[in-house]
């Protein structure tokens, strides 16, 4: 038996903890044998002293073991998953997963609804008429075995220890610790059951990790945790300097995903999906090199097989596949489309992605609390991105809006997010580096 005091002191004094000491702390906290004040002190010690890769892995395993594990063993083949550390208007899942499945990868994804500027992927999919995000386990497995793709909402209790610890971190200024973030994210991913995981670690003004060096460190820690747990891992470090694509919302992001699957979408979104997907295919053993994977992904856009895969999934989950052919008619719409005009002439120099996300949330596209209802039709469609010239009174964006009262607040936030200068700046670089078990490769 250990003493809580001694374990806190050991970490405070920068010694490496044993597996059993970490397990003792996590299990004790979950069972409420260790009070909040001692756990808070422990978390602060971790915040200042950090953790070794092995310590972070053991922490993660303990959090996984606190809850359910999704059992995907009835699905044949290598199951691959993607996780993004969170961006604004990130439509990737809706584009990427159908493309990967069309290229021979296997995607069996259970995902949370989450809190954010917009809904999560399953919320977005719910804007398709009839689409069921809740399927019995047997049907989920049957669908994946048949068409290699299913996206459903999470019903099991994954990593409850993380929920409890996160709440305490949130109240004690210990959220932004790299081993704690890595453990938190990876505990949920490992519990979700995939054999391989590609991480999209965002950096920039709209990201959790604003600084590039921190994003690299977080990626390295998560890759190490995953590999030590027997999963195949790749992380890409990508830009969240401005929102991805043009659409930020739910139904409007589904529409953007459809356009991208047709090769008519925003190039930044397409490029990111091609790169993430190529790495998913690589770790799945479908291709031998990233370049081969990229070519396969691009072909699945050109020949329409990615779009067709999305349609198959919609049909397999009781949605109306016609909505994919006629999104303008069959997806939910906001009451009004109102342009937001540029206050002056110039060039878009910066867009604070986080503020744009908050503007979309203010319009009603996201949730504040778990119980909140999302207005699936509302959102923001950008007309100007970084580097674009703009004239006074030309639209910077179109607000898809259903509530006048919400509109004013959102507009104020949105305009404050745009910096319009005199000189043309290049559009921001999209992919900075790749991290895998062999190390960091910068692009």
Given the complex with ligand URA, which of 116 and 306 has the nearer CB atom?
116
CA-based end-to-end distance of the chain: 49
Q: Does 91 bind Ca ion (CB under 5 A)?
A: yes
Minimum Å distance from CB 175 to ligand URA?
Answer: 6
* Nearest in space to 226 (alpha carbons), one of 261, 266, 259, 182: 182
174-182, 263-271, 283-291, 391-399 -> range binding ligand URA (CB under 6 A): 174-182
Query: Which candidate in 188, 311, 407, 434 is catalytic?
Result: 188
Q: Does 185 bind ligand URA (CB under 6 A)?
A: yes
Instruction: Tell me the angle at which helices 353-363 and 404-417 cross, rounded to the nearest 10 degrees.
Output: 180
CB of 91 closer than 8 Å to CB of 125 = no
Find the binder of ligand URA among 97, 121, 143, 184 (CB under 6 A): 184
* Nearest in space to 356 (alpha carbons), one of 365, 344, 369: 365
Strand partners, 149: 107
CB of 88 closer than 8 Å to CB of 353 = yes
How many Cβ atoms sit within 10 Å of the Cβ of residue 389? 12
Q: Does 247 bind Ca ion (CB under 5 A)?
A: yes
Dist. CA 254–CA 374, nearest whole Å: 15
Q: Does 94 bind Ca ion (CB under 5 A)?
A: no
Torsions phi, psi of 147, nearest 5? -115, 5
Region for residue 314 given its phi and psi (left: phi exceeds 0; alpha: psi -120 to 50; beta: otherwise): alpha
Torsions phi, psi of 440, nearest 5? -105, 130
Query: Which candidate in 184, 239, 284, 401 is catalytic?
Result: 184
Find the binder of Ca ion among 105, 196, 206, 245 (CB under 5 A): 245
Minimum Å distance from CB 100 to Ca ion?
Answer: 18
Dist. CA 275–CA 293, nearest whole Å: 8
Given the complex with ligand URA, which of 162 and 256 has the nearer CB atom?
162
3 state DSSP class of 397: strand
56-64, 83-91, 147-155, 418-426 -> range binding Ca ion (CB under 5 A): 83-91
Dist. CA 418–CA 341, nearest whole Å: 11
Minimum Å distance from CB 189 to ligand URA?
Answer: 9
User: Can you point out the beta strands (E) in 172-290?
Assistant: 196-203, 232-239, 247-249
Of 12-51, binders to Ca ion (CB under 5 A) are: none
Contacts of 308 (CB under 8 A, 6+ apart): 102
128-136, 180-188, 271-279, 288-296 -> range binding ligand URA (CB under 6 A): 180-188
Fill in the DSSP letter of residue 79.
B
185 touches, from ligand URA, Ca ion, none (C-beta below 5 to 8 Å by class): ligand URA
89 touches, from Ca ion, ligand URA, none (C-beta below 5 to 8 Å by class): Ca ion
Dist. CA 415–CA 417, nearest whole Å: 5
54 is catalytic: no
Given the complex with Ca ion, which of 81 and 253 has the nearer CB atom?
253
245 touches, from Ca ion, ligand URA, none (C-beta below 5 to 8 Å by class): Ca ion
Q: Which residue is nearest to Ca ion (CB)?
A: 245
83 is catalytic: yes
Q: Does 165 bind ligand URA (CB under 6 A)?
A: no
Query: Which candidate in 81, 90, 123, 162 is catalytic?
Result: 162
Find the binder of Ca ion among 67, 86, 87, 89 (CB under 5 A): 89
169 is catalytic: yes
Q: Does 158 bind ligand URA (CB under 6 A)?
A: no
Minimum Å distance from CB 244 to Ca ion?
Answer: 5
91 touches, from Ca ion, ligand URA, none (C-beta below 5 to 8 Å by class): Ca ion
Classify burial at 267, counting beta carbons within 10 Å of its beta carbon; exposed 0-12, middle 13-18, buried 19 or more: exposed
Torsions phi, psi of 347, nearest 5? -125, 145
Minimum Å distance from CB 162 to ligand URA?
Answer: 7
In 3-state terms the chain splits into helix, strand, coil percentages (rounded to 5) of: 45, 15, 35
170 is catalytic: no
Query: Which candidate in 169, 220, 232, 413 is catalytic?
Result: 169
Minimum Å distance from CB 270 to Ca ion?
Answer: 11
Q: Which residue is nearest to ligand URA (CB)?
A: 184
Given the complex with ligand URA, which of 83 and 232 has the nearer CB atom?
83
Fill in the DSSP letter of residue 13.
T
Half-sphere exposure of 151 (CA within 13 A, CB side): 27
Q: Does 64 bind ligand URA (CB under 6 A)?
A: no
* Nearest in space to 15 (alpha carbons), one of 4, 2, 6: 6
184 is catalytic: yes
212 touches, from ligand URA, Ca ion, none (C-beta below 5 to 8 Å by class): none
Q: Which residues bind ligand URA (CB under 6 A)?
A: 166, 175, 180-181, 184-185, 208
Q: Which residues are catalytic?
A: 83, 162, 169, 184, 188
Binding site for Ca ion (CB under 5 A): 89, 91, 245, 247
């Amino acid at each position: 038996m250990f003493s809580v005091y001694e374990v806190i002191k050991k970490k405070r004094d920068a010694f490496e903890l044993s597996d059993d000491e970490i397990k003792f702390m996590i299990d004790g906290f979950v069972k409420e044998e260790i009070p909040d004040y001692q756990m808070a002190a422990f978390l602060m010690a971790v915040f200042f002293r950090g953790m070794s890769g092995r310590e972070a892995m053991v922490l993660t395993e303990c959090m996984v073991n606190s809850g359910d594990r999704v059992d995907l063993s009835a699905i044949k083949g290598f199951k691959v998953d993607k996780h993004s550390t969170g961006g604004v208007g990130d439509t990737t899942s809706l584009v990427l997963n159908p493309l990967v499945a069309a290229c021979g990868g296997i995607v069996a994804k259970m995902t949370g609804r989450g809190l954010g500027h917009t809904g999560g992927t399953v919320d977005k999919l719910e804007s398709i008429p009839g689409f069921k995000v809740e399927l019995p386990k047997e049907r989920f497995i049957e669908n994946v075995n048949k068409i290699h793709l299913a996206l459903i909402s999470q019903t099991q209790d994954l990593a409850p220890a993380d929920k409890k610890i996160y709440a305490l971190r949130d109240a004690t200024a210990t959220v932004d610790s790299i081993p704690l973030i890595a453990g938190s994210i990876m505990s949920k991913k490992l519990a979700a059951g995939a054999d391989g995981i590609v991480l999209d670690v965002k950096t920039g003004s709209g990201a959790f990790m604003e600084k590039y060096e921190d994003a690299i460190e977080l990626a390295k820690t998560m890759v190490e945790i995953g590999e030590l747990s027997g999963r195949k891992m790749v992380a890409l470090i990508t830009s969240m300097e401005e929102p991805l694509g043009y659409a930020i919302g739910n139904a409007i992001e589904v529409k953007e995903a459809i356009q991208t699957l047709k090769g008519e979408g925003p190039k930044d979104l397409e490029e990111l999906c091609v790169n993430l997907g190529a790495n998913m295919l690589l770790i799945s053993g479908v291709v031998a090199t990233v370049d081969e994977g990229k070519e396969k992904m691009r072909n699945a856009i050109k020949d329409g097989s990615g779009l067709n895969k999305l349609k198959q999934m919609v049909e397999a989950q009781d949605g109306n596949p016609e909505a994919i052919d006629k999104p303008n008619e069959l997806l939910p719409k906001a009451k009004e489309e109102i342009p937001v005009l540029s206050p002056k002439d110039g060039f878009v120099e910066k867009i604070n992605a986080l503020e744009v996300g908050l503007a979309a949330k203010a319009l009603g596209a996201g949730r504040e609390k778990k119980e909140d209802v999302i207005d699936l039709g509302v959102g923001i469609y950008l007309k100007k991105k970084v580097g674009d010239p703009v004239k006074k009174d030309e639209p910077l964006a179109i607000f898809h809006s259903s509530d006048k009262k919400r509109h004013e607040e959102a507009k104020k936030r949105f305009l404050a997010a745009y910096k319009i200068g005199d000189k043309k700046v290049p559009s921001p670089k999209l992919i900075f580096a790749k991290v895998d078990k062999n190390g960091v490769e910068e692009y």
